[in-house]
């Protein structure tokens, strides 16, 4: 492994620590988690103990106070685990849900929840997507109405990662029915067990099987006034701000998956007998893998650069949208070729490549479909 100009020695040391943890404490057990449909809570608490869940949060809450580059390392290494469901369980908690509290929560809200979030005692989910509104946040129909000292929440959410087993949910709802489009949306903190809030159903998925995904239902769910997260009617801007972090994280995860798939495939083709030699002897295979290796190397540097731009405080919506679109499509091309070169073995359920193919597909869909990302790029050309 060579050092990147983007990472100081301490982040490279963190990378190695995280990689060893995944090899020892995740990979040997994670196949069972696929069957169980979830990543176990003790493992998440263990990650909290080691400091993996609070990289960018203040030391006052148990975090490390690092920046976006640390996020890129975390996501890339989790992607290399070959278990996308495990990776996304962690990343939703660390970089897609809990940042809503870190960025917009009151001191009282952060004092109440952040130490548990960093420790892995409180697992989080973010509930924005609905059956009729995903990347188009302005189309949300879930409503929250003020009633004295309470808010009354009604509606449903769909495709919510960590939706079954989370403890704390950050929920987007329309609070001004007369406001048009993106105006009039607010965010709320909703604890599991709040009357009127229930998990409608757990959702079976093509991939990411060690990640629980759910439909959420809010039926006259009453929340105290202090559950409002940030400013009333300003939730759309909170969602948009965190979309950038989410999309960068997903790009880094995809690159980790693609690189690991190439390494597994290289090992396989160099030992698989074929036609008096091994598959690596075939020029078509050598060149295709070399091409994909080059594409992943280039995309990885783009991910790092976008993370650096964000860490420096630059407006990088265009670059992050490019990262999400590029990496989401690239990981699927890479996994297609890797499965092809594994032949029949790559089609068996016991093969990591078969699982990785299923897990990769969602990278072009979730967190902003490729087409949506390209429109964001086009607006800024």
State the pairing for strand pair 185-191/273-274: unpaired
Active site includes 349?
Answer: no
Contact 135, 240 (CB under 8 A): no
HEC string of the chain equals CCCCCCCCHHHHHHHHHHHHHHHHHHCCCHHHHHHHCCCCHHHHHHHHHCCCCCCCCCHHHCCCCCCHHHHHHHHHHHHCCCCHHHHHHHHHHHHHHHHHHHHHCCHHHHHHHHHHHHHCCCCEEEECCECCECCCHHHCCCEEEEECCEEEEEEEEEEEECCCCCCEEEEEEECCCCCCCCCCEEEEEEECCCCCEEEEEECCCCCCCCCCEEEEEEEEEEEEHHHEECCCCEHHHHHHHHHHHHHHHHHHHHHHHHHHHHHHHHHHHCCCEECCEEHHHCHHHHHHHHHHHHHHHHHHHHHHHHHHHHHCCCCCHHHHHHHHHHHHHHHHHHHHHHHHHHHHHHHCCCCHHHHHHHHHHHHHCCCCCHHHHHHHHHHCC
Catalytic: which of 246, 257, 319, 376? 246
Residues involved in catalysis: 246
């Amino acid at each position: 492994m060579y050092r990147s100009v983007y990472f100081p020695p301490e982040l490279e040391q963190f990378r190695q620590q995280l990689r060893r943890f995944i090899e020892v404490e995740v990979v040997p057990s994670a196949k069972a988690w696929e069957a169980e449909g979830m990543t176990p809570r003790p493992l998440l608490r263990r990650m909290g103990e080691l400091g993996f869940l609070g990289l960018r949060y203040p030391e006052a809450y148990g975090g490390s106070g690092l920046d976006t580059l640390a996020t890129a390392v975390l996501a890339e290494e989790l992607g290399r685990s070959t278990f996308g469901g495990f990776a996304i369980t962690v990343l939703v908690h660390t970089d897609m849900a809990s940042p809503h509290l870190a960025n917009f929560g009151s001191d009282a809200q952060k004092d109440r929840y952040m130490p548990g979030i960093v420790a892995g005692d409180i697992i989080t989910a973010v509930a924005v997507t609905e059956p009729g509104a995903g990347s188009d946040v302005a189309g949300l129909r879930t409503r929250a109405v003020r009633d004295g000292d309470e808010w009354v929440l009604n509606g449903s959410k769909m495709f919510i990662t960590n939706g079954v087993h989370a403890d704390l949910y950050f929920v987007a709802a329309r609070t001004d029915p007369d406001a048009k489009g993106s105006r009039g949306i607010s965010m709320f903190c909703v604890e599991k067990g709040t009357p009127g809030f229930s998990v409608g159903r757990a959702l079976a998925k093509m991939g990411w099987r060690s990640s629980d995904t759910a439909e959420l239902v809010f039926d006259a769910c009453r929340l105290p006034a202090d559950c409002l997260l940030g400013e009333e009617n300003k939730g759309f801007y909170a969602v948009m701000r965190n979309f950038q972090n989410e999309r960068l994280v997903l790009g880094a995860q995809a690159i980790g998956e693609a690189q690991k798939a190439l390494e597994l495939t290289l090992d396989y083709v160099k030992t698989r007998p074929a036609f008096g030699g091994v598959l690596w002897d075939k020029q078509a295979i050598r060149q295709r893998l070399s091409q994909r290796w080059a594409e992943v190397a280039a995309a990885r540097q783009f991910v790092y650069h976008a993370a650096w731009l964000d860490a420096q405080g630059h407006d990088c919506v265009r670059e992050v949208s490019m990262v999400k679109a590029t990496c989401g499509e690239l990981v699927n091309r890479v996994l297609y070729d890797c499965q092809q070169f594994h032949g029949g073995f790559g089609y068996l359920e016991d093969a990591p490549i078969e699982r990785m193919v299923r897990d990769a597909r969602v990278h072009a869909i979730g967190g902003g479909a490729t087409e949506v990302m390209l429109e964001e790029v086009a607006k800024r050309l």
